[in-house]
Structure 1
Amino acid sequence: MTQLKDNTRNQIEVEASDLPLYCPMPDMLKWNAHPRVVIPVGNTGEALCPYCGTKYVLKGGPAGHGH
């Protein structure tokens, strides 16, 4: 069984495989969570949750836009 994480960390590093990113994340406790919201971390490489203030940082920086 996967251990659920408390929703108390101020910064979480995420992978490109986590996109699209939502807060709270699936492995977070739900009993004290806020409504699920999209976190637009792909454009700038980092973003804050408007509810809990958790800062999400994308490993490797912003997603590339190759043509």
Structure 2
Amino acid sequence: MELKENTQREIEVGAADLPLHCPTPDQVKWNSHPRVFLDVTKIGEALCPYCGTRYKLRAGEVIKGHH
């Protein structure tokens, strides 16, 4: 897997990405902030308090067992 720079400011996520945290596993870590878990299940999106990246739940995603 090729690691991505932490430059994308809006990322679509799905059920397979939960539990969601920023930075994501496919991002480089050397220039990242501490890991923070984000809840996109309540309103369909979450904003990282460290870097401002907006994570949006992909349209039509079905989340089971996450509250």
* Partner residue, 1:49: 48
Structure 1's unaligned 5+ residue stretches are none
Listed one character per residue, the Cα deviations across residues 9-33 of structure 1 (whole Å, up to 9, x for unaligned) are 1100011111110000000000100
Q: What TM-score results when the alignment is normalised by the length of structure 2?
A: 0.86
Q: Which runs of 5+ in 2 are unaligned?
A: none
How far residue 3 of structure 1 moved from its aligned partner, in angstroms, is: 0.6
1:58 alignment partner in structure 2: 57
Count of matched residue positions in the alignment of Structure 1 and Structure 2: 64
- Runs of 4+ in structure 1 over 3 Å off: 61-65
TM-score (norm 1): 0.86
> CA RMSD for the aligned pairs?
1.8
**What one-letter code is carried by the residue in structure 2 that aligns with 1:39?**
L
The aligned counterpart of 1:23 is 22
Specify the code of the residue in structure 2 equivalent to 1:60: A
Larger radius of gyration: 1
Change (3 A) 1:37 1:60: same
